[in-house]
């Protein structure tokens, strides 16, 4: 399922305004504070994202060759989708340096982030879902081959914030998470 499952609650992918940029940007992501270049989820990302994306109802700003897509909903920073092998920026966890690599396993992520709210294992893929702020922020780690870390996504009101999605993933834990 992965990243594109979040479109189940948002406009269809063909209704999303996509702007690609080959202009490199220095990227700093904090996966503990949920910030991109100092911009938190839910804030207007004018210092990072093009005006066309911000002014669209639903937009994606793809930084070609930098391993990241930045999404907005109604003008605010809504999500970031990171391709680990291609990501050219720096990562941190609550202001402490963080290194993620495609060679990392589920066990490595558990050692850093602890137990996830939910783990999905479907068709050889493993998804770790971490829920924060009573489910208002979701952090996902995706292992498509159930071995190496390939994608990281953080978003507002994530996939599991929707009851139908929790049912589809077979979630049995109470919502919102404590």
- What are 160-171's pLDDT values in tens digits? 999 999 999 999
Position 115 in a domain: yes
Nearest-angstrom CA–CA distance, 123 and 44: 37
Position 175 in a domain: no
**Looking at residue 99, what is its pLDDT?**
97
Query: At residue 130, what are phi and psi to the nearest 5 degrees?
Result: -110, 130
Position 176 in a domain: no
Query: At residue 149, what are phi and psi to the nearest 5 degrees?
Result: -65, 125
Position 121 in a domain: yes
Domain that holds residue 27: 3-168
Position 177 in a domain: no
Total domains, the chain = 1
Q: Which residues of the chain have pLDDT under 50?
A: 1-9
Position 140 in a domain: yes
Query: Whose structure tokens read 């850093």?
Result: 112
Position 98 in a domain: yes
């Amino acid at each position: 399922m992965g990243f594109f499952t979040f479109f189940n609650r948002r406009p269809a992918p063909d209704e999303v305004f996509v702007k690609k940029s080959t202009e490199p940007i220095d990227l700093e992501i904090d996966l503990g504070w949920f910030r991109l270049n100092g911009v938190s989820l839910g804030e207007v990302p004018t210092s990072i994202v093009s005006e066309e994306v911000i002014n669209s109802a639903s937009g994606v700003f793809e930084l070609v060759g930098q391993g990241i897509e930045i999404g907005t909903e109604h003008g605010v920073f809504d999500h970031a989708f990171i391709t680990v092998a291609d990501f050219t920026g720096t990562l941190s966890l609550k202001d402490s340096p963080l290194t993620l690599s495609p060679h990392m396993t589920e066990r490595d992520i558990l050692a850093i982030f602890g137990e996830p709210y939910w783990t999905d294992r479907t068709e050889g893929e493993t998804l770790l879902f971490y829920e924060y702020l009573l489910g208002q922020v979701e952090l996902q780690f995706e292992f498509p081959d159930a071995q190496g870390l390939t994608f990281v996504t953080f978003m507002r009101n994530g996939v599991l914030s929707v009851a139908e999605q929790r049912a589809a993933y077979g979630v049995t834990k109470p919502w919102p998470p404590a």
